[in-house]
Structure 1
Amino acid sequence: MKSVLITGANRGIGLETAKQLSQKGLFVYLGSRDLQKGKAAVKELNDKGFQNVKAVNIDVTKPETIISAKNTIEKEQAQLDVLINNAGISGTVPQHALETSIDNFEDVFEVNLYGVVRVTQTFIDLLKKSPEPRIVNVTSSVGSLTLQSDPNWQAYDDAKLAVYASSKSALNMYTVHLAYELQDTAFRINAVCPGYTKTAFTNYNGGEVEVAGKRIIKYALIDQNGPTGKFFSEEYNETGECPW
Protein backbone atom coordinates (compact mmCIF):
# COMPACT_ATOMS: atom_id res chain seq x y z
CA MET A 1 0.00 0.00 0.00
CA LYS A 2 1.41 3.38 -1.00
CA SER A 3 1.68 6.05 1.66
CA VAL A 4 1.19 9.82 1.48
CA LEU A 5 1.84 12.71 3.83
CA ILE A 6 -0.29 15.82 3.44
CA THR A 7 0.62 18.87 5.49
CA GLY A 8 -2.13 21.19 6.70
CA ALA A 9 -4.69 18.47 6.11
CA ASN A 10 -7.15 18.75 8.98
CA ARG A 11 -9.51 20.97 6.96
CA GLY A 12 -10.25 22.44 3.55
CA ILE A 13 -8.45 21.25 0.44
CA GLY A 14 -5.98 19.19 2.46
CA LEU A 15 -8.75 17.23 4.15
CA GLU A 16 -10.55 16.66 0.86
CA THR A 17 -7.31 15.45 -0.72
CA ALA A 18 -6.83 13.04 2.19
CA LYS A 19 -10.35 11.73 1.69
CA GLN A 20 -9.89 11.13 -2.04
CA LEU A 21 -6.50 9.45 -1.63
CA SER A 22 -7.93 7.17 1.05
CA GLN A 23 -10.62 6.18 -1.46
CA LYS A 24 -7.89 5.32 -3.93
CA GLY A 25 -6.25 2.91 -1.50
CA LEU A 26 -3.35 4.92 -0.13
CA PHE A 27 -2.39 5.07 3.53
CA VAL A 28 -2.82 8.73 4.39
CA TYR A 29 -0.86 10.59 7.04
CA LEU A 30 -2.99 13.62 7.78
CA GLY A 31 -0.57 16.32 8.95
CA SER A 32 -1.91 18.87 11.40
CA ARG A 33 -0.13 21.45 13.54
CA ASP A 34 -2.82 20.85 16.19
CA LEU A 35 -2.87 17.10 16.80
CA GLN A 36 -6.30 17.15 18.42
CA LYS A 37 -7.80 18.84 15.35
CA GLY A 38 -6.04 16.25 13.23
CA LYS A 39 -7.49 13.41 15.26
CA ALA A 40 -10.95 14.98 15.03
CA ALA A 41 -10.60 15.13 11.24
CA VAL A 42 -9.57 11.47 11.13
CA LYS A 43 -12.59 10.52 13.26
CA GLU A 44 -14.82 12.47 10.88
CA LEU A 45 -13.39 10.48 7.96
CA ASN A 46 -13.61 7.16 9.81
CA ASP A 47 -17.25 7.83 10.68
CA LYS A 48 -17.93 8.26 6.98
CA GLY A 49 -16.25 4.97 6.14
CA PHE A 50 -12.79 6.17 5.13
CA GLN A 51 -9.96 3.92 6.29
CA ASN A 52 -6.17 3.95 6.47
CA VAL A 53 -5.93 7.54 7.68
CA LYS A 54 -3.79 8.61 10.64
CA ALA A 55 -3.21 12.05 12.15
CA VAL A 56 0.36 13.16 12.74
CA ASN A 57 1.45 16.32 14.50
CA ILE A 58 3.42 18.45 12.06
CA ASP A 59 3.89 22.19 12.30
CA VAL A 60 5.99 23.23 9.31
CA THR A 61 7.51 26.08 11.32
CA LYS A 62 8.77 23.72 14.04
CA PRO A 63 11.55 21.33 12.92
CA GLU A 64 11.09 19.04 15.94
CA THR A 65 7.53 18.17 14.88
CA ILE A 66 8.67 17.47 11.32
CA ILE A 67 11.41 15.14 12.53
CA SER A 68 8.99 13.38 14.89
CA ALA A 69 6.49 12.85 12.06
CA LYS A 70 9.28 11.51 9.85
CA ASN A 71 10.34 9.04 12.54
CA THR A 72 6.76 7.82 12.95
CA ILE A 73 6.26 7.26 9.23
CA GLU A 74 9.66 5.61 8.84
CA LYS A 75 8.87 3.20 11.67
CA GLU A 76 5.44 2.32 10.28
CA GLN A 77 6.05 2.40 6.52
CA ALA A 78 9.84 2.33 5.97
CA GLN A 79 9.30 4.71 3.02
CA LEU A 80 7.08 7.52 1.80
CA ASP A 81 5.61 7.47 -1.70
CA VAL A 82 3.93 10.86 -1.94
CA LEU A 83 4.52 14.20 -0.22
CA ILE A 84 1.92 16.92 -0.64
CA ASN A 85 3.15 20.25 0.73
CA ASN A 86 -0.27 21.77 1.30
CA ALA A 87 0.12 23.84 4.48
CA GLY A 88 -0.07 27.54 3.76
CA ILE A 89 -1.27 30.89 5.08
CA SER A 90 -2.39 34.05 3.31
CA GLY A 91 -1.09 36.60 5.81
CA THR A 92 -2.68 39.83 6.98
CA VAL A 93 -4.52 41.77 4.27
CA PRO A 94 -4.47 44.18 2.55
CA GLN A 95 -0.97 43.54 1.24
CA HIS A 96 0.37 46.66 -0.45
CA ALA A 97 3.97 46.54 -1.64
CA LEU A 98 4.78 49.93 -0.11
CA GLU A 99 2.96 49.49 3.19
CA THR A 100 2.99 45.83 4.24
CA SER A 101 5.18 45.11 7.22
CA ILE A 102 8.27 42.94 7.13
CA ASP A 103 6.68 40.89 9.92
CA ASN A 104 3.84 39.99 7.57
CA PHE A 105 6.31 38.88 4.89
CA GLU A 106 8.31 36.85 7.41
CA ASP A 107 5.23 35.07 8.80
CA VAL A 108 3.97 34.02 5.38
CA PHE A 109 7.34 32.98 3.98
CA GLU A 110 8.00 30.98 7.17
CA VAL A 111 5.08 28.71 6.29
CA ASN A 112 4.68 28.92 2.52
CA LEU A 113 8.34 28.61 1.55
CA TYR A 114 10.60 27.74 4.48
CA GLY A 115 8.08 25.23 5.78
CA VAL A 116 8.07 23.43 2.42
CA VAL A 117 11.87 23.38 2.37
CA ARG A 118 12.02 21.98 5.92
CA VAL A 119 9.50 19.22 5.24
CA THR A 120 10.97 18.26 1.87
CA GLN A 121 14.54 18.10 3.11
CA THR A 122 13.50 16.06 6.15
CA PHE A 123 11.47 13.51 4.18
CA ILE A 124 13.64 13.23 1.07
CA ASP A 125 15.43 10.09 2.29
CA LEU A 126 12.11 8.29 2.87
CA LEU A 127 10.87 9.42 -0.54
CA LYS A 128 14.01 8.10 -2.21
CA LYS A 129 13.11 4.63 -0.92
CA SER A 130 9.92 4.66 -2.99
CA PRO A 131 10.08 3.24 -6.54
CA GLU A 132 7.91 6.12 -7.82
CA PRO A 133 8.23 9.11 -5.47
CA ARG A 134 6.01 12.12 -6.01
CA ILE A 135 6.05 15.64 -4.56
CA VAL A 136 3.26 18.13 -5.09
CA ASN A 137 3.84 21.68 -3.90
CA VAL A 138 0.45 23.32 -3.58
CA THR A 139 0.82 26.78 -5.10
CA SER A 140 -1.42 29.44 -6.64
CA SER A 141 -1.79 31.10 -10.01
CA VAL A 142 -1.33 34.42 -8.20
CA GLY A 143 2.34 33.41 -7.97
CA SER A 144 2.70 33.62 -11.76
CA LEU A 145 4.88 36.55 -12.79
CA THR A 146 3.43 36.35 -16.29
CA LEU A 147 -0.19 36.60 -15.16
CA GLN A 148 0.52 39.27 -12.55
CA SER A 149 2.07 41.37 -15.35
CA ASP A 150 -0.84 40.91 -17.77
CA PRO A 151 -3.62 43.56 -17.55
CA ASN A 152 -5.86 41.19 -19.53
CA TRP A 153 -5.70 38.48 -16.85
CA GLN A 154 -9.15 38.19 -15.30
CA ALA A 155 -7.73 38.41 -11.75
CA TYR A 156 -5.27 41.22 -12.54
CA ASP A 157 -6.83 43.78 -10.18
CA ASP A 158 -8.02 41.32 -7.55
CA ALA A 159 -4.89 39.23 -6.98
CA LYS A 160 -2.50 41.97 -5.92
CA LEU A 161 -1.39 40.32 -2.69
CA ALA A 162 2.24 41.40 -2.36
CA VAL A 163 3.05 38.96 0.43
CA TYR A 164 1.10 35.83 -0.49
CA ALA A 165 1.83 36.12 -4.21
CA SER A 166 5.56 36.61 -3.58
CA SER A 167 5.66 33.53 -1.35
CA LYS A 168 4.05 31.40 -4.05
CA SER A 169 6.42 32.73 -6.72
CA ALA A 170 9.30 31.72 -4.46
CA LEU A 171 7.72 28.30 -3.92
CA ASN A 172 7.44 27.85 -7.69
CA MET A 173 11.14 28.61 -8.08
CA TYR A 174 12.01 26.13 -5.35
CA THR A 175 9.95 23.52 -7.20
CA VAL A 176 11.93 24.14 -10.40
CA HIS A 177 15.26 23.71 -8.63
CA LEU A 178 14.10 20.63 -6.73
CA ALA A 179 12.93 18.97 -9.93
CA TYR A 180 16.17 19.90 -11.69
CA GLU A 181 18.31 18.32 -8.97
CA LEU A 182 16.25 15.10 -9.14
CA GLN A 183 15.70 15.05 -12.90
CA ASP A 184 17.65 11.82 -13.45
CA THR A 185 15.65 9.89 -10.84
CA ALA A 186 12.15 8.43 -10.60
CA PHE A 187 10.86 11.58 -8.87
CA ARG A 188 8.03 13.61 -10.37
CA ILE A 189 7.79 17.02 -8.71
CA ASN A 190 5.31 19.71 -9.68
CA ALA A 191 3.71 22.92 -8.43
CA VAL A 192 -0.08 22.65 -8.57
CA CYS A 193 -2.69 25.37 -8.09
CA PRO A 194 -5.97 23.82 -6.91
CA GLY A 195 -7.89 26.93 -7.94
CA TYR A 196 -9.96 29.47 -6.04
CA THR A 197 -11.93 27.18 -3.76
CA LYS A 198 -14.71 27.39 -1.17
CA THR A 199 -12.78 27.01 2.08
CA ALA A 200 -12.10 29.06 5.21
CA PHE A 201 -9.03 30.34 3.33
CA THR A 202 -11.30 32.22 0.87
CA ASN A 203 -14.21 32.91 3.23
CA TYR A 204 -15.99 30.11 1.36
CA ASN A 205 -15.96 31.78 -2.03
CA GLY A 206 -14.95 29.96 -5.20
CA GLY A 207 -15.24 26.49 -6.70
CA GLU A 208 -15.97 23.14 -5.11
CA VAL A 209 -13.41 21.54 -2.83
CA GLU A 210 -13.86 18.17 -4.55
CA VAL A 211 -12.56 19.65 -7.81
CA ALA A 212 -9.57 21.17 -6.05
CA GLY A 213 -8.71 17.83 -4.48
CA LYS A 214 -8.84 16.07 -7.84
CA ARG A 215 -6.46 18.61 -9.35
CA ILE A 216 -3.86 17.87 -6.69
CA ILE A 217 -4.31 14.11 -6.82
CA LYS A 218 -3.84 14.06 -10.58
CA TYR A 219 -0.20 15.08 -10.13
CA ALA A 220 0.33 13.13 -6.92
CA LEU A 221 -0.41 9.90 -8.80
CA ILE A 222 1.07 10.57 -12.25
CA ASP A 223 2.98 7.74 -13.87
CA GLN A 224 6.62 7.70 -14.90
CA ASN A 225 5.77 9.30 -18.25
CA GLY A 226 4.26 12.28 -16.46
CA PRO A 227 5.76 15.78 -16.25
CA THR A 228 8.17 17.07 -13.65
CA GLY A 229 9.28 20.59 -12.79
CA LYS A 230 6.07 22.13 -14.15
CA PHE A 231 3.46 24.62 -12.89
CA PHE A 232 -0.18 23.64 -13.32
CA SER A 233 -3.41 25.58 -12.89
CA GLU A 234 -6.38 23.92 -14.53
CA GLU A 235 -8.53 26.84 -13.41
CA TYR A 236 -6.43 29.12 -15.62
CA ASN A 237 -6.03 26.74 -18.53
CA GLU A 238 -7.93 23.52 -19.26
CA THR A 239 -4.76 21.96 -20.65
CA GLY A 240 -3.24 22.47 -17.22
CA GLU A 241 0.12 24.19 -17.64
CA CYS A 242 0.36 27.69 -16.25
CA PRO A 243 2.88 30.36 -17.34
CA TRP A 244 5.58 31.13 -14.81
Structure 2
Amino acid sequence: MQTTDQKIALITGANKGIGRATAERLAGLGMTVLMGARDPGHGEEAAAAVRAGGGDAHAVTLDVTDAATVREAARWTGERFGRLDVLINNAAITGSGRVSPVDAVDQIPSGVDLDMVRAVFETNVFGVIAVTNAMLPLLRRSPAPRIVNLSSGGGSLALNSDPDGPLTGLPPSAAYSPSKTALNALTVQYANELRKDGILVNAAAPGYVATDINDHQGFLTPAQGAEVVVRLATLDADGPTAGFFSVDGPVPW
Protein backbone atom coordinates (compact mmCIF):
# COMPACT_ATOMS: atom_id res chain seq x y z
CA MET A 1 0.00 0.00 0.00
CA GLN A 2 1.27 3.44 -0.98
CA THR A 3 1.12 5.96 1.87
CA THR A 4 0.72 9.59 0.90
CA ASP A 5 -0.29 12.91 2.41
CA GLN A 6 -1.93 13.85 -0.88
CA LYS A 7 -5.69 13.64 -0.97
CA ILE A 8 -7.10 10.81 -3.07
CA ALA A 9 -10.08 11.57 -5.31
CA LEU A 10 -12.08 9.10 -7.41
CA ILE A 11 -14.19 10.43 -10.26
CA THR A 12 -16.58 8.26 -12.26
CA GLY A 13 -16.91 8.96 -15.98
CA ALA A 14 -13.66 10.90 -15.83
CA ASN A 15 -12.24 10.29 -19.31
CA LYS A 16 -14.09 13.25 -20.87
CA GLY A 17 -16.31 16.24 -20.25
CA ILE A 18 -16.91 17.57 -16.75
CA GLY A 19 -15.34 14.49 -15.18
CA ARG A 20 -12.06 15.00 -16.99
CA ALA A 21 -12.06 18.74 -16.32
CA THR A 22 -12.65 18.03 -12.64
CA ALA A 23 -9.75 15.57 -12.61
CA GLU A 24 -7.47 18.17 -14.17
CA ARG A 25 -8.49 20.81 -11.61
CA LEU A 26 -8.10 18.51 -8.60
CA ALA A 27 -4.74 17.25 -9.87
CA GLY A 28 -3.69 20.86 -10.21
CA LEU A 29 -4.55 21.33 -6.54
CA GLY A 30 -2.17 18.51 -5.65
CA MET A 31 -4.61 15.63 -5.32
CA THR A 32 -4.05 12.13 -6.64
CA VAL A 33 -6.93 11.57 -9.06
CA LEU A 34 -8.34 8.15 -9.89
CA MET A 35 -10.08 8.51 -13.22
CA GLY A 36 -12.90 6.02 -13.63
CA ALA A 37 -13.86 5.02 -17.16
CA ARG A 38 -15.77 2.14 -18.71
CA ASP A 39 -13.20 1.74 -21.47
CA PRO A 40 -9.67 1.07 -20.12
CA GLY A 41 -8.02 2.60 -23.17
CA HIS A 42 -9.97 5.84 -22.93
CA GLY A 43 -9.30 5.99 -19.21
CA GLU A 44 -5.56 5.54 -19.62
CA GLU A 45 -5.43 8.11 -22.42
CA ALA A 46 -7.15 10.68 -20.17
CA ALA A 47 -4.95 9.85 -17.17
CA ALA A 48 -1.82 10.12 -19.31
CA ALA A 49 -2.89 13.60 -20.43
CA VAL A 50 -3.30 14.70 -16.80
CA ARG A 51 0.12 13.26 -15.95
CA ALA A 52 1.62 15.08 -18.92
CA GLY A 53 0.32 18.28 -17.37
CA GLY A 54 2.15 17.51 -14.14
CA GLY A 55 -0.70 15.84 -12.24
CA ASP A 56 -0.79 12.53 -10.40
CA ALA A 57 -3.47 10.50 -12.20
CA HIS A 58 -4.38 6.83 -12.50
CA ALA A 59 -6.92 5.18 -14.78
CA VAL A 60 -9.46 2.92 -13.10
CA THR A 61 -11.72 0.63 -15.11
CA LEU A 62 -15.15 1.39 -13.69
CA ASP A 63 -18.62 0.89 -15.14
CA VAL A 64 -21.11 2.04 -12.50
CA THR A 65 -23.68 -0.47 -13.78
CA ASP A 66 -21.26 -3.41 -13.51
CA ALA A 67 -20.95 -4.64 -9.92
CA ALA A 68 -17.75 -6.53 -10.64
CA THR A 69 -15.89 -3.43 -11.84
CA VAL A 70 -17.23 -1.42 -8.89
CA ARG A 71 -15.95 -4.03 -6.41
CA GLU A 72 -12.59 -4.25 -8.16
CA ALA A 73 -12.18 -0.47 -8.19
CA ALA A 74 -12.82 -0.36 -4.45
CA ARG A 75 -10.44 -3.26 -3.81
CA TRP A 76 -7.67 -1.70 -5.92
CA THR A 77 -8.09 1.73 -4.34
CA GLY A 78 -7.93 0.27 -0.85
CA GLU A 79 -4.93 -1.89 -1.65
CA ARG A 80 -3.05 0.92 -3.39
CA PHE A 81 -3.90 3.92 -1.19
CA GLY A 82 -5.66 2.63 1.91
CA ARG A 83 -8.32 5.33 1.88
CA LEU A 84 -10.38 7.68 -0.27
CA ASP A 85 -10.82 11.37 0.50
CA VAL A 86 -13.15 12.51 -2.28
CA LEU A 87 -15.76 10.63 -4.30
CA ILE A 88 -17.31 12.39 -7.29
CA ASN A 89 -20.25 10.55 -8.82
CA ASN A 90 -20.11 12.10 -12.28
CA ALA A 91 -21.02 9.29 -14.71
CA ALA A 92 -24.46 9.75 -16.26
CA ILE A 93 -26.48 9.16 -19.41
CA THR A 94 -29.44 11.00 -20.91
CA GLY A 95 -31.12 7.91 -22.33
CA SER A 96 -31.54 9.68 -25.66
CA GLY A 97 -28.17 8.86 -27.14
CA ARG A 98 -26.15 12.00 -27.85
CA VAL A 99 -29.28 14.12 -28.22
CA SER A 100 -29.50 17.08 -25.86
CA PRO A 101 -32.18 16.96 -23.12
CA VAL A 102 -33.47 20.13 -24.81
CA ASP A 103 -34.47 18.02 -27.82
CA ALA A 104 -35.35 14.76 -26.03
CA VAL A 105 -38.96 14.45 -27.16
CA ASP A 106 -38.62 10.67 -26.77
CA GLN A 107 -38.72 11.25 -23.00
CA ILE A 108 -42.20 12.80 -22.91
CA PRO A 109 -43.95 10.82 -20.13
CA SER A 110 -47.01 9.71 -22.11
CA GLY A 111 -44.93 7.97 -24.75
CA VAL A 112 -41.64 7.13 -23.07
CA ASP A 113 -40.07 3.69 -23.43
CA LEU A 114 -39.87 2.13 -19.97
CA ASP A 115 -36.63 0.39 -20.87
CA MET A 116 -35.07 3.81 -21.46
CA VAL A 117 -36.24 5.00 -18.05
CA ARG A 118 -34.80 1.89 -16.40
CA ALA A 119 -31.46 2.33 -18.19
CA VAL A 120 -31.18 5.99 -17.16
CA PHE A 121 -31.97 5.23 -13.53
CA GLU A 122 -29.56 2.28 -13.58
CA THR A 123 -26.66 4.63 -14.33
CA ASN A 124 -27.75 7.94 -12.81
CA VAL A 125 -29.25 6.64 -9.55
CA PHE A 126 -28.52 2.97 -8.86
CA GLY A 127 -24.94 3.35 -10.09
CA VAL A 128 -24.39 6.14 -7.59
CA ILE A 129 -25.63 3.92 -4.78
CA ALA A 130 -23.41 1.05 -5.90
CA VAL A 131 -20.24 3.14 -6.13
CA THR A 132 -20.90 5.14 -2.97
CA ASN A 133 -21.55 2.07 -0.85
CA ALA A 134 -18.47 0.31 -2.23
CA MET A 135 -16.28 3.32 -1.44
CA LEU A 136 -17.73 4.23 1.97
CA PRO A 137 -15.34 2.00 3.96
CA LEU A 138 -12.43 3.84 2.31
CA LEU A 139 -14.02 7.25 2.79
CA ARG A 140 -14.45 6.53 6.50
CA ARG A 141 -10.65 6.22 6.73
CA SER A 142 -10.22 9.80 5.53
CA PRO A 143 -9.87 12.68 7.97
CA ALA A 144 -12.06 14.90 5.76
CA PRO A 145 -14.21 12.83 3.36
CA ARG A 146 -16.35 14.52 0.72
CA ILE A 147 -18.95 13.15 -1.71
CA VAL A 148 -20.18 15.18 -4.67
CA ASN A 149 -23.05 13.96 -6.85
CA LEU A 150 -23.35 15.52 -10.31
CA SER A 151 -26.95 16.60 -10.65
CA SER A 152 -28.61 19.12 -12.97
CA GLY A 153 -30.88 22.12 -12.78
CA GLY A 154 -33.27 19.86 -14.66
CA GLY A 155 -33.62 17.84 -11.46
CA SER A 156 -35.09 20.78 -9.56
CA LEU A 157 -38.82 20.32 -8.89
CA ALA A 158 -39.15 24.01 -8.09
CA LEU A 159 -37.66 25.08 -11.42
CA ASN A 160 -39.54 22.45 -13.41
CA SER A 161 -42.91 23.33 -11.87
CA ASP A 162 -42.59 27.08 -12.50
CA PRO A 163 -44.55 27.86 -15.69
CA ASP A 164 -42.54 31.04 -16.11
CA GLY A 165 -39.22 29.56 -15.01
CA PRO A 166 -35.98 29.01 -16.91
CA LEU A 167 -36.85 25.43 -17.90
CA THR A 168 -40.16 26.17 -19.65
CA GLY A 169 -38.56 25.58 -23.03
CA LEU A 170 -37.67 21.98 -22.24
CA PRO A 171 -39.98 19.12 -23.21
CA PRO A 172 -41.32 17.11 -20.26
CA SER A 173 -38.99 14.28 -19.27
CA ALA A 174 -39.80 10.92 -17.68
CA ALA A 175 -36.18 9.72 -17.63
CA TYR A 176 -33.25 12.14 -17.36
CA SER A 177 -34.78 14.93 -15.26
CA PRO A 178 -36.54 12.55 -12.82
CA SER A 179 -33.29 10.61 -12.42
CA LYS A 180 -31.58 13.80 -11.28
CA THR A 181 -34.48 14.60 -8.95
CA ALA A 182 -34.05 11.14 -7.44
CA LEU A 183 -30.31 11.74 -7.18
CA ASN A 184 -30.98 14.96 -5.25
CA ALA A 185 -33.19 13.07 -2.81
CA LEU A 186 -30.54 10.38 -2.47
CA THR A 187 -27.91 13.03 -1.78
CA VAL A 188 -29.94 14.36 1.14
CA GLN A 189 -30.49 10.89 2.59
CA TYR A 190 -26.78 10.02 2.42
CA ALA A 191 -25.93 13.38 3.97
CA ASN A 192 -28.37 12.79 6.82
CA GLU A 193 -26.89 9.36 7.52
CA LEU A 194 -23.26 10.39 7.24
CA ARG A 195 -23.15 13.86 8.80
CA LYS A 196 -22.36 12.34 12.22
CA ASP A 197 -19.23 10.84 10.64
CA GLY A 198 -18.06 14.15 9.21
CA ILE A 199 -18.75 13.09 5.62
CA LEU A 200 -20.11 16.05 3.65
CA VAL A 201 -22.43 15.05 0.81
CA ASN A 202 -23.74 17.56 -1.72
CA ALA A 203 -25.22 17.76 -5.21
CA ALA A 204 -23.75 19.97 -7.93
CA ALA A 205 -25.55 21.66 -10.80
CA PRO A 206 -22.77 22.46 -13.29
CA GLY A 207 -24.99 24.31 -15.77
CA TYR A 208 -25.46 23.74 -19.49
CA VAL A 209 -21.99 22.47 -20.35
CA ALA A 210 -20.88 21.49 -23.85
CA THR A 211 -20.20 17.74 -23.61
CA ASP A 212 -20.94 14.54 -25.51
CA ILE A 213 -24.11 14.10 -23.45
CA ASN A 214 -25.73 17.05 -25.30
CA ASP A 215 -23.79 16.83 -28.57
CA HIS A 216 -21.74 19.85 -27.40
CA GLN A 217 -24.72 22.21 -27.58
CA GLY A 218 -24.00 23.69 -24.15
CA PHE A 219 -22.67 27.23 -23.75
CA LEU A 220 -20.32 26.52 -20.82
CA THR A 221 -16.94 24.80 -21.07
CA PRO A 222 -16.23 21.61 -19.08
CA ALA A 223 -13.78 23.65 -16.98
CA GLN A 224 -16.56 26.10 -16.11
CA GLY A 225 -18.89 23.23 -15.24
CA ALA A 226 -16.23 21.69 -13.02
CA GLU A 227 -15.88 24.82 -10.90
CA VAL A 228 -18.76 24.07 -8.53
CA VAL A 229 -17.74 20.40 -8.37
CA VAL A 230 -14.22 21.30 -7.25
CA ARG A 231 -15.60 23.78 -4.74
CA LEU A 232 -17.78 21.09 -3.12
CA ALA A 233 -14.98 18.52 -3.24
CA THR A 234 -12.68 20.82 -1.27
CA LEU A 235 -15.08 22.10 1.41
CA ASP A 236 -13.70 22.90 4.83
CA ALA A 237 -14.99 20.98 7.84
CA ASP A 238 -17.62 23.64 8.51
CA GLY A 239 -18.92 23.49 4.94
CA PRO A 240 -22.49 22.59 4.02
CA THR A 241 -23.92 19.12 3.62
CA ALA A 242 -27.26 17.96 2.13
CA GLY A 243 -27.15 20.91 -0.27
CA PHE A 244 -27.73 21.51 -3.98
CA PHE A 245 -25.42 24.12 -5.49
CA SER A 246 -24.48 25.80 -8.74
CA VAL A 247 -21.47 28.04 -9.12
CA ASP A 248 -23.75 30.95 -8.16
CA GLY A 249 -25.00 29.38 -4.92
CA PRO A 250 -27.88 27.19 -3.71
CA VAL A 251 -30.28 25.77 -6.29
CA PRO A 252 -33.93 25.28 -5.27
CA TRP A 253 -34.97 21.70 -4.77
Q: Give the TM interval when normalised to the shorter protein.
A: over 0.9
C-alpha deviation, 1:159, in angstroms: 5.5
The one-letter code matched in structure 1 to 2:132 is T
Amino acid at match of 1:18: A
Contact 2:149–2:204 (CA under 8 A) maintained in structure 1: yes
Q: 1:207 aligns with which of 212, 220, 235?
A: 220
Contact 1:3 1:82 in 2 (8 A): yes
State the 4+ residue runs in structure 1 displaced beyond 4 angstroms. none
Q: Offset of 1:200 from its aligned partner?
A: 1.3
Deviation at 1:25, TM superposition (A): 0.3
Q: Does 1:163 align with 2:175?
A: yes
- The alpha carbon displacement at 1:164 in A equals 0.2
Matches within 5 A, 1:107-126: 107-126=119-138
Q: Please list, as runs of the form range in 1=range in 2, the aligned pairs for 1:64-143 lying within 5 A after superposition.
A: 64-92=68-96, 93-94=104-105, 95-143=107-155
Aligned to 1:216: 229
**How far is 1:202 from its partner?**
1.8
Deviations 1:23-45 (A, max 9, x none): 00000000001111101112222
Structure 2 distance, partners of 1:147, 1:9, is 28
Calculate percent identity across the aligned residue pairs.
39
The runs of 5 or more residues in structure 2 that have no matched partner are 1-5, 97-103
**RMSD of aligned Cα (Å):** 1.0
In the other structure, the counterpart of 1:15 is 20
Which runs of structure 2 are paired with 1:19-34 in the superposition (5 Å)? 19-34=24-39
2:56 to 47, 52, 55: 52
| Structure-2 change in CA distance of 1:159 and 1:182 (3 Å) | farther
1:146 paired residue among 126, 145, 158: 158
Task: Provide the C-alpha distance between the structure 2 equivalents of 1:195 and 1:159, rounded to a whole number of angstroms.
Answer: 18
Measure, in 2, the Cα distance between the counterparts of 1:160 and 1:223. 38
TM-score between both structures, scaled by the size of structure 1: 0.95
Scaled by the length of structure 2, the TM-score of the pair is: 0.92
Q: Is the 8 A contact 1:28 1:54 kept in 2?
A: yes
Equivalent residues of 1:146, 1:243 under 8 A apart: yes
What amino acid sits opposite 2:245 in the alignment? F
- Counterpart amino acid of 1:35? P
Counterpart contact for 2:48–2:57, Cα < 8 Å:
no
2:58 is aligned with what amino acid? Answer: K
Q: Provide the aligned length of Structure 1 versus Structure 2.
A: 239
